[in-house]
């Protein structure tokens, strides 16, 4: 077996395997999964059976040791090893009740390898008694390469404390991998652990100009008298207050060492800290990642070309959206849309682990992810949980009124992709109740179009009665090649639909438009003229997310409305007579 020792990539650094050379080791527990390969029907070496061992809890416990407690989810047999996870559900296996009466320093080793499918996430998490250790697995050379690599994690625990070990995917979807040959080895020779004082802290996903300090605890085990020298080196973005020398007595009690990361450019930075004494020489790796900070969705959208509608591809660059956007749609825990003053973008995270709390109407910032072109539709795939959420924002998104003709104009829709829109005064051609995963035809004037699509069983209008009178349909616009299954399975051509959030009476802003209001030129590259036939006092200009950007006094007759200095985009004008709205209009600023 070709053994490759993996150290933790980001902040959660543990005892390095180099410190265990020549140890007097004792195997405490091992499991090679050889007793469970009979489950399933497709047990080729590189594949997995169809049975899920989590459905056979009794057999799992009996096969792997009745004195231990086993649990798991989406654990499939694979010719004497196990495969964890499916394309949409996170897999894990956990064993508890392992005892270690003679040692406090231990090594957990296991063999692993990602599944051979393309675009699978290769990050997993090993948890020992609640402490998490992340790993990035080495991909197989090919689908036919069934070699698993060996990984180790070193830890300490009080003598006689029972161990609980869990191996799981890092995300819920597209994170399938094999596991084999788990074992815990105890050692009584000298060693040192080096872990963050607060579990889970890391130098991941920082932006240029950010500074973060993490306190690590260096703890010695079985050290004799004397001192240990400490050296710190690596990227200039890392600094440390580590002393040059620490007494072994202080290390035995635990020594706090602060490490600071202040990145100056996007990319990855690395540093090492080395402990040396008469018994050992241990080096620990520390890695930080600095990502590109992007202030607006318009800037984010400009970073990936989505003109190719025939591919589904995800970029490798990680971006940090630092602006403030409103969640305009949240269909399930897998998909949301966010919109700021400059544009909109879909957040796609199959499984929902990263966007579960980003509900409609909340304001989000510091969103981390990779851009993806999904057959001409731009997505941002979060790579970390969205935690900067304001559930009480003051901004209200104003939907952009579009026609069925505009919805059919692909070039026009590409320019407003993902934004909150409103189809006004449409009539549905079906009756009954809205269902999930369904297309609906509507009429607007002389145009009929299959324009409304419910993308899941959790869409807000699912279960409501289909209206029989003219309504407004408000929702985000989505480009998709929809698959229909009746009477035959057909994948329709990629086009834009409205993914409905709500259906309202036709009394919105566009219906307030008054024939006595005449605005020109529209579109405009400068100011506009408002011609009024009735008394008016002022006009207010709002951008696409409902923010007031300008107001001025007006009166009956001709009025020049100042729009110079405003960025290109769509604006809503509300015309008032004192506090009463007497008319509205939409103006496109070029």
- Taken in order of first residue, the domains within the chain and their CATH numbers are 24-188 (2.60.120.260), 192-291 (2.60.40.2310), 295-390 (2.40.50), 400-509 (2.40.50), 513-589 (2.60.40.3080)
Mean pLDDT by runs of 10 across the 590 residues of the chain is 28 33 64 69 57 56 64 81 81 88 80 77 87 82 76 79 90 80 83 80 85 92 90 96 95 93 90 94 90 92 91 88 92 86 90 76 90 94 88 80 92 93 95 94 94 88 94 93 80 92 67 60 88 87 72 90 82 80 79
How high is the pLDDT of residue 252?
A: 86
How high is the pLDDT of residue 331?
A: 79
How high is the pLDDT of residue 7?
A: 28
For the chain, what's the residue count? 590
Which residue, 275, 293, 276, 292, is CA-closest to 284?
Answer: 275
- pTM, two decimals, is 0.55
What residue ranges in 455-579 does DSSP mark as E strands?
471-480, 483-484, 490-491, 495-504, 517-520, 528-532, 538-542, 548-553, 557-561, 569-577
* Cα 165 from Cα 31, distance rounded (Å): 12
* Cα 578 from Cα 587, distance rounded (Å): 22
How high is the pLDDT of residue 118?
A: 54
3-state secondary structure of 414: helix
How high is the pLDDT of residue 541?
A: 86
536 to each of 113, 240, 522, 552, 574, how far by Cα in Å? Answer: 71, 66, 21, 11, 11
Give the number of other CB atoms < 10 A from CB of residue 427.
14
How high is the pLDDT of residue 367?
A: 93
Paired residues of 363 in beta bridges: 326, 390
Q: Decide the pairing of beta strands 312-321 and 281-294.
A: parallel
How high is the pLDDT of residue 32?
A: 85
How high is the pLDDT of residue 248?
A: 93
* Token pair 């010719």: residue: 79
């Amino acid at each position: 077996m070709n053994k490759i020792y993996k150290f933790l990539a980001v902040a959660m650094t543990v005892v390095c395997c180099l410190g265990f050379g020549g140890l007097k080791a004792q195997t405490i527990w091992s499991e090679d999964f050889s007793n469970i390969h009979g489950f399933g029907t497709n047990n080729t070496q590189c594949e997995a059976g169809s049975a899920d061992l989590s459905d056979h809890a009794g057999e799992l416990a009996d096969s792997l040791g009745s004195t231990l407690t086993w649990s798991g989810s989406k654990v499939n047999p694979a010719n004497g090893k196990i495969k964890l996870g499916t394309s949409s559900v996170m897999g894990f296996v956990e064993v508890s009740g392992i005892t270690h009466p003679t040692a406090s320093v231990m090594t957990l080793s296991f063999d692993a390898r990602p599944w051979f499918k393309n675009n699978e996430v290769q990050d997993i998490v090993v948890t020992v008694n609640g402490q998490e250790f992340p790993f990035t697995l080495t991909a197989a050379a090919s689908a036919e390469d069934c070699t698993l690599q060996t990984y180790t994690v070193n830890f300490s625990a009080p003598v006689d404390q029972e161990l609980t070990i869990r191996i799981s995917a890092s995300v819920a979807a597209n994170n399938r991998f094999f596991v084999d040959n788990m074992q815990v080895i105890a050692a009584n020779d000298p060693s040192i652990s080096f872990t963050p004082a607060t579990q889970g802290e890391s130098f991941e996903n920082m932006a240029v100009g950010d500074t973060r300090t993490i306190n690590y605890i260096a703890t010695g085990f079985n050290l004799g008298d004397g001192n240990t020298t400490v050296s710190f080196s690596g990227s200039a973005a890392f600094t440390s207050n580590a002393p040059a020398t620490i007494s072994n007595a202080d290390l035995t009690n635990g020594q706090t060492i602060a490490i600071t990361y202040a990145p100056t450019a996007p990319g990855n930075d690395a540093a090492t800290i080395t402990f040396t004494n008469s018994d050992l020489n241990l080096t620990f790796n520390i890695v930080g990642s600095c990502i590109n900070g992007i202030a607006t969705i318009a800037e984010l959208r400009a970073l990936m070309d989505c003109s190719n509608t025939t591919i589904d591809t995800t970029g490798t660059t990680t971006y940090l959206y630092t602006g403030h956007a409103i969640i305009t749609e949240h269909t399930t825990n897998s998909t949301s849309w966010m919109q700021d003053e400059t544009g909109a973008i879909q957040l796609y995270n199959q499984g929902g682990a990263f966007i579960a709390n980003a509900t409609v109407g909340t304001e989000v910032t510091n969103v981390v992810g990779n851009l993806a072109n999904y057959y001409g539709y731009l997505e941002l795939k979060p790579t970390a949980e969205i935690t900067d959420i304001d559930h009480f924002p003051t901004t209200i998104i104003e939907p952009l009124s579009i026609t069925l003709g505009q919805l059919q104009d692909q070039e026009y829709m590409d320019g407003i992709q993902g934004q909150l829109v409103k189809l006004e005064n449409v009539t549905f051609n079906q009756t009954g109740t809205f269902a999930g995963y369904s297309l609906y035809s509507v009429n607007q004037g002389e145009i009929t179009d299959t324009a409304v699509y419910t993308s899941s069983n959790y869409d807000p209008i699912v279960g409501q009665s289909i209206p029989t009178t003219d309504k407004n349909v408000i929702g985000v616009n989505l480009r998709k090649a929809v698959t229909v299954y009746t009477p035959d399975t057909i994948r329709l051509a990629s086009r834009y639909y409205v993914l409905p959030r709500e259906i309202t009476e036709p009394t919105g802003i566009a219906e307030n438009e008054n024939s006595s209001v005449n605005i020109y030129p529209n579109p405009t590259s400068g100011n506009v003229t408002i011609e009024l036939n009735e008394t008016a006092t002022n006009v207010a200009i709002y951008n696409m997310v409902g923010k007031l950007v300008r107001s001025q006094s007006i009166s009956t007759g001709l009025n020049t409305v100042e729009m110079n200095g405003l960025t290109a985009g769509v604006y809503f004008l509300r015309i008032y007579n004192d506090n009463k709205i007497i008319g509205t209009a939409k103006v496109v600023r070029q």
